[in-house]
Amino acid sequence: MPSPKAKNPGRSGGSPVLGSSNGRYEFMSLTKPLNRSSPPHLLQRQGSDPTTARLRASESPTRRRGSGSSTGSASGQGPPEEDGIRLNPSLIRVALSSLLAIDLWLSKRLGVCACEDSSWGSVRPLMKLLEISGHGIPWLAGTVYCLYKSDSAAGQEVMLNLFMGLLLDLILVGIVKAVVRRRRPAHNRMDMFATFSVDRYSFPSGHATRAAMCGRFLLAHLVLAAPLRVLVFLWVGLVGLSRVMLGRHNVTDVMFGFWMGYCQYNLVEMLWLSPQTLQGLLGQSA
Ligand SMILES: CC(C)=CCC/C(C)=C/COP(=O)(O)O
């Protein structure tokens, strides 16, 4: 008994179908346009007249899924473009939700200092010390102090630009946090000092952006011996790690924060305020 496919040999769709010739069924590729030299009975069954061809194309699996393509499978030259376009967003969604699931799982596992009675609760004070070392207030206060104390024009220029960078960081992180509005992990205890209202959101980590930006700044503008340069690298990494261990952030908040801070430094370099620019600005405002 012939299969249902055998009754309908003209379906297009890239898979071999059966063509009937004197009662025998043969495989026939639909990935290539039908050869003019094909026997007349095959041409007839494929629907050589345009109306039949259109009807048969509308029966194809890709058509039935509603891709509506007039190219690609209808002409037998591979999958229609729309199918690729429709598949990709769902693949991206699956990839993103898997990444999110891994992120949440890993962040929860690494949040070992989230409170005193957590498994690593005893190192919580040390993590909080790292938190203070990357907080905006000590950095702003320290920069203003160095600016005030600096007696060289070059030192003042560097400190002023660091101050601008720190302000820029607070503004940019605030904007991204307000737009993304990702909640902090459920295991976080909100006991941070001096926060803005946007700091109830966790993406990106402000400590991570600041650490990355200031780390790059120090490495570029201070003449540091090799051990001190290593220390700067270590400090940046530890500030990021402490955010996750304290349960303040998910891993992706910190990773994105590092990337954002790295890019913010490029912005600081682009907008660098030279003494001449400053004089110009001060002259205009006077
Ligand atoms: C009050 C000032 C000047 C800065 C706030 C710094 C702060 C608390 C940022 C939040 O960092 P995370 O996003 O890493 O938790």
pLDDT for position 274: 86
Q: Within 10 A of 241 (CB to CB), how many other CB atoms are there?
A: 16
List of the chain residues with pLDDT < 70: 1-87, 282-286
Distance CA 18, CA 230 (A): 70
Burial class (CB in 10 A: 0-12, 13-18, 19+), 219: middle
Element (H, E) at 27: strand 24-28
Distance 138 CA to ligand 1 centre (A): 11
114 alpha carbon – ligand 1 mean position (Å): 17
Interatomic CA distance for residues 175 and 169, integer angstroms: 10
pLDDT of residue 269: 96
User: Taking the domains of the chain in order of start, what are their residue ranges?
Assistant: 4-70, 111-285
pLDDT of residue 38: 42
**How far is the C-alpha of 127 from the C-alpha of 244, rounded, in Å?**
10
CB 181 within 8 A of CB 285: no
Catalytic site includes residue 187: no
b/e map of 45-82 (b: 16 or more CB within 10 Å)? bbbeeeeebeebbeebebbeeebebeebbbebeeebeb
Which of 199, 209, 241, 244 should be mutated for ligand 1, with most atoms under 8 A from CB? 199
Which residues have CB under 8 Å from 148's CB, separation 6+?
none
pLDDT for res 5: 40
Residue 135 is a catalytic residue? no
Give the ligand 1 atom nearest the CA of 193. 8
Predicted confidence at residue 210, as pLDDT, reads 98
pLDDT at residue 67, as a whole number: 39
Q: What ipTM does the predicted assembly reach?
A: 0.97
Q: In this predicted structure, what is the pLDDT of residue 248?
A: 97
